[in-house]
A = this chain, B = another copy of it.
C-alpha cells in the first residue's frame, strides 16, 4: 500500500486532467475516493490502473457509458453472470462488425486514392471534383461515422 496521492498527482501520472477525473467520478467510472480531513480527494494505485484502462477503452472509441459498464463487470468478476457475459459478447460483436466494415472501407479508400492519383488530370472538367463524384459504398459512411465519432474535433485547429 503506497502513498495516497491527491488529484493533481493522479492527473500527472495518468495524463488525465483533474477536471476529467472528477467528471469520471460523477459518471461512476471511478469510485468515490477517500478524503483528507479538509476534503481533498485521495487516490491509490488502483485508481491509476483504472484510469489506464479507461484511456485504452476510450482510445478505442468506447463511450464513457460503455466503459462504466465494462468496469462494473470487472468489479464483479468474482460473481459474473450470464447477462454480463451477454453484454461482453455484444461488445465483441460490435468490435468485429466495425473491424469488418473498416477493412472493407480501407480497401475502397485505397483503391479510390490510387485511381484518382493516376487519373487526376483526366477527370471530368465540369464536375466539382471528379474524385468525390465517383462516390463510395454505403459501408464507408458507417465506417467513417465511426472515425468521426472516435476522433471528434481534431480537425478544427488551423
Contact = CB atoms under 8 A, between A and B. Distances in A.
User: Contact residue range for chain A?
Assistant: 35 or more
A35 interface: no
B139 A150 contact: no
A59 interface: yes
Interface string A44-69: 00000110010011011111011001
Contacts of A60: 101-102, 104-105, 132, 135-136, 140, 144
B113 A102 contact: no
Interface in A125-158: 125, 127-136, 138-152, 155-156
A79 interface: yes
A128 B82 CA distance: 11
A113 B70 CA distance: 11
A76 B56 CA distance: 44
B86 A116 contact: no
A70 B129 contact: yes
Sorted nearest first, the 4 A-B pairs with minimum C-beta distance are A61-B144, A81-B129, A60-B105, A83-B135
28 contacts: A53-B129, A53-B133, A56-B133, A60-B132, A60-B135, A65-B145, A65-B155, A69-B131, A69-B138, A72-B131, A72-B134, A73-B135, A77-B116, A79-B129, A80-B128, A81-B116, A81-B125, A81-B130, A83-B135, A83-B136, A85-B117, A85-B131, A91-B144, A95-B109, A95-B143, A95-B147, A99-B99, A145-B149
